[in-house]
Amino acid sequence: MDWRWLEVSEEAAERLYGQRSIHPIIARILSSRGIRTPQEAEDFLYPRLSQLADPFTITHLREAVQLLERAVREHWAVSIIGDYDVDGITSVTLIVRLLRHFGLEPQYFIPRRFTEGYGMSDEIVERLRQRSSPRLVMALDCGTNAVEQVRRLRADGIDVLILDHHQSNDALPEDCVLVNPHVFDAEAHPPWLSLCSVGLVFKLIHGFLKHRRAQEDPRALSYPLRQELDLVAMGTIADLVPLVGENRILAHCGLGDFAHQRRPGIEALCRVAQMPDSQAAAPEDIAFKLGPRINASGRLADAVLPVQMLLAENFEEASPLAQTLDEMNAERQRIERGILAEAEELFRQSEELPGIFFSNPGWHSGIVGIVCGKFARDYRRPCVVLGEERGLAKGSGRSVAGYDLVEILSPCAPLLESWGGHPLAVGISLKPENVPLFQKAFQESVRTFRQKLSGEGDQLLIAQTLSLEDIDGPFLADLENLRPFGQDNPEPLFALKGITLDRAAEPFGKNKKHLRLLLRREAEAPLPCLYWNGTRRIPPAKRPLDLAIRLFWESWQGHRSVRSELLDWKISGT
């Protein structure tokens, strides 16, 4: 890989650790991320809910609050449409909890992926109309592009409120209330611009409660808004939105709630995921333990199950639902293993190509996104994997830091029926006959992007060069304060120079394709280091090496110990 060091402002770094008790290495990392003053560092390292902006600064949110207030005051029938991913599921759960608290009993509908497609489709609107008679329809995590569906609802006298964060097409729905910062507020670039839908729902609820509290409504005074942040954190982290600004505040504060006062649905989910009661959740727990179980029903069956689980009022009600989701996740894993085995064989035939691309109409379109993410992470390059759904080649793209999938796919857009997402994650669909042309265009676009990045090879951004003796308690404690990591707040990568391995790396794993190393330290125990897929390029023992690593904590039976992961290595001096 092409190693690049982040640019550091030495003046700002000195100012930060001079006026705040910040570790010098952390101060340098903060300065490389544009943080220049002690107050900015304080706000970043210790996020507080008091830093959140007034919800009414979001365009059309005041109108949304007024519409919601009228629905509550006049006891309207309310129906809700949400997406089948974690962001959509948590958004629906939040708004249902609020409306129930204020005396309404809303009905909620989650699209059935294989018969109703995505979002506010004709099919899901038709099912809603057959099973409910709403005065207000709320669309959460969808609806920005539902021009015709909104028009038909309004023609029947039904009000429509949309909270969404997806990009718009040329036309927007008319005669409704639409809250979407990417549509109305992008030019100002406020700190809440990149909120996902559950974050927008949180802001809507905050604004609604402020309005009702001003009228001294006792129901507003008793509503436990602070306790809803666990759901907000789950949806925010799972949706891969930038973890800066208000997303960082909501995710940081919500993650802390997982260690205590877990709601019954989350407690049941944590138990089947084997997460200890006292353990605070990390983004990795949501990405690899909780999120996949919530998503499993939407991938394989009916995504209404996780909403029911999260709304459960006691553990006895939530537990069987969590067990069902766990069983669905096991089935998802079985299907995933089959796709992975086929994809690995295909990859061996094409691993020299700049991007990773697989397409098989026999693959489950609800599973290919997970496979796509594994290849992108393991081989650190953009990946697209397609299955088939409703007559279209459909699937996902995943990427890693430095590779913007939105920019990469833009030249391929004429070949696509639909696509959209974030720089690190997109969904796409296209006609099966266009798959070969798309594959060629995708590889060419990745190749062009790589050349623009570094001229050759992949780029690895190094935050700092460390010695093994730098990896001590105070440094690791301050490093934890940079979490949660995600888009626009990447996990820092470090370089270790002149490291000599005393003995050869030890292969491990089912196929013995991973490596385990020990990095010897003078004053402390050796630092364990894992190298995924390391047998493809084995670092030699008894020679000085430069290592690019990440650091993380490993928890086992209540004990935590520091570990490292090797991302790349070079012979020292080369």
Fold designation for 51-226:
inorganic pyrophosphatase (n-terminal core) (3.90.1640)
Q: Is-contact 168 174, C-beta < 8 A?
A: no
* CATH code for the part of the protein at 2-8+460-571: 2.40.50.460
Q: Could you identify the residue written with the tokens 């990405």?
A: 287
Kindly report the average pLDDT of the chain as a whole number.
90
* CATH code for the part of the protein at 350-457: 3.10.310.30
Residue 352 has pLDDT above 70, yes or no: yes
The DSSP line for 68-85 is HHHHHHTT--EEEEE-SS
d(CA 338, CA 433) in angstroms, rounded, equals 25
Buried b (16+ CB within 10 A) or exposed e, 331-360: ebeebbeebbeebeeebeeeeeebbbbbbb
Percent of the chain clearing pLDDT 70 (strictly above): 97
pLDDT one-digit tens code per residue, 168-181: 766 899 999 999 99
Q: Is-contact 256 501, C-beta < 8 A?
A: no
Report the pLDDT averaged over residues 288-296: 91
pLDDT one-digit tens code per residue, 295-348: 988 888 788 999 999 999 999 999 999 999 999 999 999 999 999 999 998 998
Q: Read off the pTM.
A: 0.87
Residue 441 has pLDDT above 70, yes or no: yes
Q: Give the confidence band of 279 by pLDDT, cuts at 50, 70, 90.
A: low
Of 527, 277, 197, 390, which Cα lies nearest the Cα of 269?
A: 277
Report the pLDDT averaged over residues 54-82: 97
Please state which of the ranges 89-93, 385-389, 473-477, 489-493 shows the lowest mean pLDDT.
Answer: 473-477
Report the pLDDT averaged over residues 37-65: 95
Q: Give the confidence band of 456 by pLDDT, cuts at 50, 70, 90.
A: very low
Q: Looking at residue 557, what is its pLDDT?
A: 62
d(CA 100, CA 517) in angstroms, rounded, equals 54
Helix residue ranges per DSSP H, 419-547: 435-454, 473-480
Please state which of the ranges 23-27, 126-130, 384-388, 422-426 shows the lowest mean pLDDT.
Answer: 422-426
- Where do the structural domains in the chain lie, given as residue ranges? 2-8+460-571, 51-226, 350-457
> What is the amino acid identity at position 22?
I
3-state secondary structure 186-220: HHHCCCCCCCCHHHHHHHHHHHHHHHHHHCCCHHH
Q: Looking at residue 160, what is its pLDDT?
A: 98
Residue 279 three-state SS = coil
User: From residue 409, how far is each of 272, 355, 421, 426 by CA, in Å?
Assistant: 38, 12, 11, 9
Q: Looking at residue 303, what is its pLDDT?
A: 86
Q: Hey, CA dihedral for 282, 288, 290, 291, is it positive or negative?
A: positive
Tokens of 400: 């890693």
Q: Dihedral (C-alpha) 241, 242, 243, 245: value to the nearest 10 degrees?
A: -120
Of 429, 422, 355, which Cα lies nearest the Cα of 390?
A: 429
Q: Looking at residue 348, what is its pLDDT?
A: 85
Q: Looking at residue 455, what is its pLDDT?
A: 47
Tokens of 14: 């000195």
